[in-house]
Amino acid sequence: MIHVGVIIAFLTVYLREALSAPMLAGRLTTSEIVVLSIVPLIGWGGAYHVYVWRCARRIDREGSHRAVRGTERATRMFMIAALVQHAAAVLVFGWLDLVRSWIGNPVLIDELIVLLTPMLAMSYAYFVMYPIDRRLREAALLSRIERGEPVHPFPSRTRFVLLSTRQHVLFLLVPLGAILAWNEASVFALDAVGVDGQSAIASGVQMGGALIVLVLMPPVLCRLWDTVPLGEGEIRDAIRETCDAHRVRVRELLLWRTGGTMVNGAVIGILPRLRYVVITDALLEMLEPEQVAAVAAHEVGHVRRRHMLWLALSVLGAVMVLGTPLGWGVNLVLGTPAGELPMAEESAVVIVLGLTLLGVLVAMGLVSRRFEWQADAFAVQHLSGMRPGKEDVSISPEAAAAMIGALRRVARLNAIDPNRFTWRHGSIRTRQKRIAALIGEPADALDVDRLAGWVKLGCVACLVVGACFIALDLSVIP
């Protein structure tokens, strides 16, 4: 939810540039804009804090699981309210325009001031949820001691908020901010040499700069995550063997120091010379060696199957296949008397872009979840002994058990309900069932690999159809 929220907050700022003016431009005073843009969020934040506090008391008195789920729902509702408030402030009330009237339009500074509101709301959510998270971890403390597992002191509230903000908010805020800064700076530079900011040249410069930012960003993100090189040993050798076996080149294997608060792994980077495999400290401490190997193979699978590239293409295809037809539909609407209403055209822009964004998020979730299934399958394929050029390997029960056990432990140690559905990964329970169903199947002929192939074919089809829509649209421009 946090990652999606950061993306939506940035897209709202981009969307403002598509409008000539906010919808209520000239109708509100400076004081009214400030009050409408900030005060409602303060009220929602207070109500959210009180509700979570009451749930915490129920947890203390009754050990209520319903109260825990209630805090999760309240957090989602608060984040949605914060993003709606941010969109209204920027697109309707004119909060960004007011900030620019105060400080001008310096590169990135005005946008960051406006983005501060939703970003602080996200950090505030971690502040409010701290007691709940601490209660859940303390409830599992005795069983961890009985099992002889390492125990870390739980961080203070301040450290918890700062650590969570670095891991989840800044992880996207920094690269998206760099892309936004590049776009603004390039427009100013091109304007200085007489190139129209809306021209194809400007679009090419902006897209090229965004690609360069994404390519060069991994070392910055690794520093943001407080990582150090993974020490020599059995785990490092196993991860290296996985990468070498499947011809996946990485620059370094990193240990992500979270103070034992997170069990996770990731691969960051597109280019081999700027690609890193990241494993958290808690994952190394809490999982068995074969489970760590399964998680590492899962991450290598994302690279080997080129999921990052295809996920980006799915987003582009969804934009192309949805944007133009929606624009045609709005043109039909604007051809009626209703299209003569004030602000009709700019409202139409907001509607088209909003519906396109919704469609893109739905498509991205569908694609991402299926790629997660394929990465899980890749892990059990690797643990079963499948290697490039090696045939006649079946999925072994031991390989499936290692991946299923890794997911179970990740869920338990991160206090995640295995049945809880998430936008990018689905539910852990569903993933475990799909892995169990692979046992005994030929490793080189899994249904999930065929499904991923169909997903990729669908991405190509969307790109082709979207390109045809754009060509048709351009052909009828007078």
Query: Residue 50 is encoded by which pair of tokens?
Result: 């009180």
User: 84-120: buried (b, 16+ CB within 10 Å) or exposed (e) per residue?
Assistant: ebbbbbbbbbbbbbbbbeeeeeeebebbbebbebbbb
User: What percentage of the chain reaches a pLDDT higher than 70?
Assistant: 92
pLDDT tier at 109, thresholds 50, 70, 90: very high
3-state secondary structure the chain: CHHHHHHHHHHHHHHHHCCCCCCCCCCCCHHHHHHHHHHHHHHHHHHHHHHHHHHHHHHHHHCCHHHHHHHHHHHHHHHHHHHHHHHHHHHHHCHHHHHHHHHCCCCCHHHHHHHHHHHHHHHHHHHHHHHHHHHHHHHCHHHHHHCCCCCCCCCCHHHHHHHHHHHHHHHHHHHHHHHHHHHHHHHHHHHHCCCCCCCHHHHHHHHHHHHHHHHHCHHHHHHHCCEEECCCCHHHHHHHHHHHHCCCCCCEEEEECCCCCCCCEEEECCCHHHCEEEEEHHHHHHCCHHHHHHHHHHHHHHHHCCHHHHHHHHHHHHHHHHHHHHHHHHHHHHCCHHHHCCCHHHHHHHHHHHHHHHHHHHHHHHHHHHHHHHHHHHHHHHHCCCCCCCCCCECCHHHHHHHHHHHHHHHHHCCCCCCCCECCCECHHHHHHHHHCCCCCECCCCHHHHHHHHHHHHHHHHHHHHHHHHHHHHHCCC
Place 305 in a pLDDT band, splitting at 50, 70 and 90: very high
Q: Tens digit of pLDDT for each residue in 385-412?
A: 998 877 678 999 999 999 999 999 888 8
Residue 324 has pLDDT above 80, yes or no: no
Q: What is the pLDDT of residues 341-364, one digit of tens each?
A: 444 455 666 777 778 888 888 898
Residue 340 has pLDDT above 90, yes or no: no
Choice among 10-24, 249-263, 284-298 with the minimum mean pLDDT: 10-24
Q: What is the mean pLDDT of residues 426-438?
A: 95
Max Cα–Cα distance, the chain, nearest Å = 76
pTM higher than 0.85 for the full model?
A: no
Bridge partners of residue 267, in order along the sequence:
277
What local confidence, expressed as pLDDT, does residue 199 receive? Answer: 66
pLDDT for residue 301 is more than 90? yes
Distance from C-alpha of 452 to C-alpha of 200, rounded to nearest angstrom: 34
More confident site: 435 or 324: 435
CA distance 299 to 301: 5
Percent of the chain scored above 90 by pLDDT?
A: 47
Q: Is pLDDT larger for residue 207 or for residue 303?
A: 303
Domain-wise residue ranges, the chain: 1-186, 287-478
**Residue 134 to residue 146: CA distance in whole angstroms:** 19
Cβ neighbours around 477 below 10 Å, total:
5
52-66: per-residue pLDDT in tens?
999 999 988 887 778
Cα torsion angle, 443, 447, 452, 454, sign: positive
User: Is residue 291 scored above 60 in pLDDT?
Assistant: yes
| Whether the predicted pLDDT of 456 surpasses 80 | yes
HSE value, Cβ hemisphere, 13 Å, CA-based, for 60: 9
